[in-house]
């Protein structure tokens, strides 16, 4: 284990990235634990709104951490100690920002709404991508010292791979496109298969018969896997509030997940 750690993490310069990954995951877990305790009215963080009604979202310290860590990484030039600290700051800050990505995207406090699930999904995708990079998956590795023929072959392979990723994205399969970026076989298979029926690719290129086929296939896929996605989203991020009215169920405030009658 020690030999693997030194060979695959330390010696190849992946330690800052590994620390960023660990900080990213831990920060997200702690953040969700705190926010869910606030929503349940438990824990020491209930009084999280000032007397003036100001609520500072955790994306704010996240932006500060990411910015500071980024400048520190640039100034450190890979120097041991500083680079690792920058990795921790960027990982923790990125986690805080992405956890509220849906709020930033919509410019509305949708943290506990159905739209807020986007943040959880994005964090999961980002964490998975970081993990894949750490273990060494790099389809864009290019060795120019192997000769002209090998270099040309590598460039062609990389170009084809990026083409498959782009087609997968245009077909509306965004999660698959992200994971396919690191797994060429997945991107190639997904690029050849039917597009999502709501994608521009389907509407512009498919006949009515093929579009109906794509709809039926997407319906079968969603029927099988959508309950799993919802279950995982509830488990990790908490069940969304019913936002049919401004206060959600039982008078819960959509901004904090708390009952406004119980005080901030």
Which tens digits make up the pLDDT trace of 35-45? 888 887 776 76
Mean pLDDT value of segment 124-141: 76
For the chain, what are the domain ranges? 1-137, 141-193, 194-241
pTM of the model: 0.71
Which has the higher per-residue pLDDT, 45 or 248?
45
Mean pLDDT value of segment 5-16: 81
Mean pLDDT value of segment 10-23: 88
The token pair at 249 is: 């169920």
Distance, C-alpha 13 to centroid of its chain: 24
Q: pLDDT at residue 253 above 80?
A: no
* CB neighbour list of residue 117: distance below 8 Å, 6 or more residues apart: 102, 233, 237, 240
181 touches 165 (CB < 8 A): yes
Q: pLDDT at residue 146 above 60?
A: no
């Amino acid at each position: 284990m020690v030999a693997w750690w030194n060979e695959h993490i330390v010696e190849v310069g992946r330690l800052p990235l590994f620390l960023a990954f660990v900080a990213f995951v831990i920060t997200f877990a702690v953040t969700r634990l705190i926010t869910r305790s606030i929503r349940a009215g438990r824990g020491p963080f209930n009084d999280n709104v000032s007397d003036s009604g100001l609520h500072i979202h955790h994306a704010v310290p996240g932006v500060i951490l990411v910015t500071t860590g980024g400048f520190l990484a640039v100034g450190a030039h890979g120097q041991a100690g500083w680079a690792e600290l920058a990795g921790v700051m960027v990982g923790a800050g990125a986690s805080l920002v992405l956890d509220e990505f849906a709020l930033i995207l919509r410019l509305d406090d949708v943290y506990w709404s159905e739209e807020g699930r986007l943040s959880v999904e994005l964090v999961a995708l980002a964490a998975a991508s970081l993990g894949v990079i750490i273990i060494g998956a790099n389809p864009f590795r290019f060795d120019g010292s192997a000769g002209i023929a090998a270099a040309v072959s590598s460039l062609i392979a990389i170009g084809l791979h990026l083409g498959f990723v782009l087609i997968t994205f245009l077909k509306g399969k965004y999660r698959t496109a992200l994971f396919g970026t690191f797994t060429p076989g997945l991107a190639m298979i997904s690029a050849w298969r039917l597009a999502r029926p709501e994608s521009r690719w389907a509407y512009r290129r498919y006949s009515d018969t093929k579009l109906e086929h794509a709809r039926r296939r997407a319906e079968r896929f969603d029927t099988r896997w959508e309950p799993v996605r919802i279950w995982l989203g509830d488990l990790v991020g908490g069940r969304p509030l019913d936002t049919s009215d401004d206060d959600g169920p039982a008078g819960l405030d959509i901004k904090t997940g708390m009952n406004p009658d119980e005080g901030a």
